[in-house]
Amino acid sequence: MRLALFDLDHTLLPLDSDYSWGQFTVTIGWRDAETHTRANDAFYEQYKAGTLDIHEYIRFSVAPLAEHGVEKSDAAHRRFMEEVILPAMRPEAIELVFRHQVAGDEVLIVTATNEFVTRPIAQAFGVPELIAIELERDAAGNPTGGIKGTPSFREGKVARVEQWLASRGLSWADVTHSSFYSDSINDLPLLEKVTEPVATNPDPRLSAIATERGWRILNLFE
């Protein structure tokens, strides 16, 4: 097996889908603009700095989903896709994913953004295999604010890829070549695990490490 792994936000997308979804909930009146934006900005700065408490952030970010229910949440996400995500998808990113698929690689999106936000985005990229943060849900299907299983964040991305392989009766030893495209210092554990790490639109800290180690740097959106 050959694996081609992709981070999503600021890697395949020129935006952060989690942050953008939060701002979209303000636009549609689900959250107070000033209060939400202040908190959302603070969490985003923590993420960029590598200090984010993912459990605290998930409790914050999924609260509107439980409040408004599955049907309204799904309808809002369809609007989000049409108004925010689809216009932001770049041909360069779509083509990169497609090239790996044509080459016969098993393509996965591996993201720290939750599955509610990202599953339709992965589908829009033509990628059926998604590793994302899975949300705990109540009997009605509403998120509780908890995380189901291991969060696909930092070293958790390595663990979740290993779980994905194990579910197919495989391990890293069965992977003849693996690549991982990411922009973020948070993804250093998985970048160090694969055969070919690709610092894609990298943040300054990842760019410095990639340069020092001779990793490929891809500025996809130039």
Query: What residues are labeled active site?
Result: 7, 9
Tokens matching residue 10 = 């600021």
Q: Return the beta strands (E) in the chain as ranges.
A: 2-6, 106-114, 129-137, 143-148, 177-182, 196-200, 216-218
109 CB neighbour count, 10 Å cutoff:
25
Burial class (CB in 10 A: 0-12, 13-18, 19+), 48: middle
Q: What six digits make up the tokens of 171?
A: 């391990």
